[in-house]
Amino acid sequence: MRLLTVVGARPNFMKAAPLIAAIRAHNLKASDPIGHILVHTGQHYDDVMSGAFFADLGLPAPDVHLGVGSASHAAQTGEIMRKFEGVLSDTRPDVVVVVGDVNSTLACALVAAKMSWDTDGGRPLVAHVEAGLRSFDRSMPEEVNRIVTDHVADLLFVTEPSGVENLHNEGIPADRIHFAGNTMIDSLLAFEARADASAILERLGLRSDPGQSPERYALLTLHRPANVDHRQTFAGIVSGLEELAAECPIVFPVHPRTQRRLESDALGSTLVTSGLRLTSPLGYLDFLCLMKHAWIVVTDSGGIQEETSCLGVPCVTVRQNTERPVTVTRGTNVIAGTQPERIKAAIRGQTRRRFSREMPDKWDGRAAGRILDVIVRTHAGRSRSTPAVSAMCG
Ligand code: UD1
């Protein structure tokens, strides 16, 4: 079997790494090794957004780099599709795996699903890792990416029970849906010990003496266009952090989109006077270490809601909704919206709480192994039921 994995943007790398590790482990003991091709679309291209993650996660260098870079949604998605079609024609994998919900995920799933190599319509199986999540908010580009990807994929690997329900409700046949667990949590558990050795707390002067956990600092991330591209919303979120800033340092690793916004606006200097400590984007291990020891995390990210849930760290999400309801059920995550008073109230509530590290179902570090098993079985079944073209002709 030849399997091609697509990565493109920062949140893809930690979701794909465990699958690549599972393929390596399979190949060590199997008589039928899996040929693996890693494609990087180049949606994220900076060392801080991409290269550092390859190093931290021990990912192999991509076999193919599409070098697409930043552009509008249509231009970026179209360019990935155009270039990826050539890669598929050249490499002819049996399976294409896409992860998450970024433009690279949608673009490559669509190309693979419409590929037709032989006169009998041969094409790769399309597998979507992190299927079924829904915010029910189509103004989010990621929601559109999720819906379209799920509807063209052959194998849908789901991280939480809500995903299974959403896919059933959208009429996806049950035999395509597999509740496999969360590969991002596989990475977290696999790399936690290495993250513990990070010196980031000392570097930022956040380690108290003697070290207590949680340390008394907050961690903030903001990058969603709906939050950072609208001045009033952004300013509202910052004012929602006032009380917290008076109590502890707030570390804010700034995403490139947010950085650009701050440079074009006086808001940047307001942030510093508001007591926020801005840093450049951090690598995987440093960020994991900061998250694990934080008193509270405030974010508009999707993945961080899950990582804090796994770590038992209180999280306040500054969005109107979440596609990851299991984090709210567990209590680690509160959806606060973007109004200052609601954010303040959510922070007050969450800083009083303590959580154990009780995992949602199947967030056990073994999701990638389960996914690979299903892919191998499905491919074997497909090979048996599709006789070679030469055999049919002869
Ligand atoms: C993308 C994903 C989002 C994910 C986020 C994580 C989509 C639709 N969105 O959003 O789901 O949560 O990544 O980071 O796919 N830039 C750099 N260097 C880079 C990459 C980007 O400077 O390496 C700049 C670009 O020039 C661009 C901005 O950051 O102006 C946004 O990048 P883009 O990939 O378009 O979307 P994100 O906001 O990062």
pLDDT single digits (tens) 53-104: 999 999 999 999 999 999 999 999 999 999 999 999 999 999 999 999 999 9
Torsion from C-alpha of 223, 228, 229, 234, nearest 10 degrees: 170
- Do 128 and 231 have their domain in common? no
Q: How far is CA 36 from CA 154, 177, 367, in A?
A: 19, 23, 19
Residue 343 pLDDT exceeds 90: yes
pLDDT single digits (tens) 298-329: 999 999 999 999 999 999 999 999 999 999 99
Within 13 Å, how many C-alpha atoms sit on residue 307's CB side?
Answer: 29
Domain that holds residue 143: 2-182+363-385
Going from the Cα of 300 to the center of ligand 1, the distance in angstroms, rounded, reads 14
Q: What is the best residue among 110, 257, 317 to mutate for testing ligand 1's pocket, by most ligand atoms within 8 Å of CB?
A: 257
- Do 254 and 131 have their domain in common? no
Residue 271 pLDDT exceeds 90: no
Residue 39 pLDDT exceeds 90: yes
Q: Is 102 touching ligand 1 by the criterion CB < 6 Å?
A: yes
- Do 20 and 53 have their domain in common? yes
- Do 328 and 370 have their domain in common? no
For the chain, how many residues are written?
394
Alpha carbons 383 and 207: distance in angstroms, whole number: 56
Strand order in the sheet with 125-131: 64-65, 35-40, 2-7, 95-99, 125-131, 155-158, 177-179
Query: What's the pLDDT at 13?
Result: 98
Going from the Cα of 202 to the center of ligand 1, the distance in angstroms, rounded, reads 29
Q: Is 229 touching ligand 1 by the criterion CB < 6 Å?
A: no
Alpha carbons 108 and 149: distance in angstroms, whole number: 9
Angle at 370 (CA atoms; ends 365, 372), nearest 5 degrees: 115
pLDDT band at 209 (very low <50, low <70, confident <90, very high): low
Q: Is 40 touching ligand 1 by the criterion CB < 6 Å?
A: no
Q: Which residue has the higher pLDDT, 101 or 215?
A: 101
Q: Is 280 touching ligand 1 by the criterion CB < 6 Å?
A: no
Total domain count, the chain = 2
- Do 153 and 224 have their domain in common? no
- Do 343 and 203 have their domain in common? yes
Helices (H), the chain: 10-29, 52-57, 73-91, 103-114, 141-152, 161-169, 183-196, 200-203, 225-228, 231-240, 242-247, 256-263, 267-273, 284-293, 303-311, 326-330, 340-351, 367-385, 389-393
User: What DSSP element (H or E) covers 128?
Assistant: strand 125-131
Please give the model's pTM, rounded to 2 decimal places.
0.95
Measured in degrees and rounded to the nearest 5, phi and psi for residue 198 equal -65, 145
- Do 311 and 234 have their domain in common? yes
Residue 141 Cα: closest atom of ligand 1: 8
Query: What's the pLDDT at 386?
Result: 62
Alpha carbons 87 and 4: distance in angstroms, whole number: 10
Residues 242-253 have a mean pLDDT of: 95
Yes or no: say if 201 and 215 are a contact pair by the CB < 8 Å rule.
yes
Q: What is the CATH number of the domain that holds 213?
A: 3.40.50.2000
Q: What DSSP letter does each residue of 309-342 carry, written as one string? A: HHHT--EEE-SS--S-THHHHHSSEEE--S-HHH
Domain for residue 115, yes or no? yes
- Do 207 and 277 have their domain in common? yes
- Do 109 and 236 have their domain in common? no
pLDDT single digits (tens) 359-373: 999 999 999 999 999
Measured in degrees and rounded to the nearest 5, phi and psi for residue 99 equal -125, 150
pLDDT above 70 covers a percentage of the chain that reads 96
- Do 159 and 204 have their domain in common? no
Query: What's the pLDDT at 387?
Result: 52
Residue 18 pLDDT exceeds 70: yes
Q: Is 166 touching ligand 1 by the criterion CB < 6 Å?
A: no
pLDDT band at 31 (very low <50, low <70, confident <90, very high): confident
pLDDT band at 389 (very low <50, low <70, confident <90, very high): very low
Query: What's the pLDDT at 392?
Result: 42
- Do 156 and 7 have their domain in common? yes
Residues with catalytic annotation?
A: 223
Chain center to CA of 189? 15
Residue 374, judged by CB atoms within 10 A of its CB (0-12, 13-18, 19+), counts as middle
- Do 202 and 160 have their domain in common? no
Alpha carbons 40 and 37: distance in angstroms, whole number: 10
Domain for residue 339, yes or no? yes
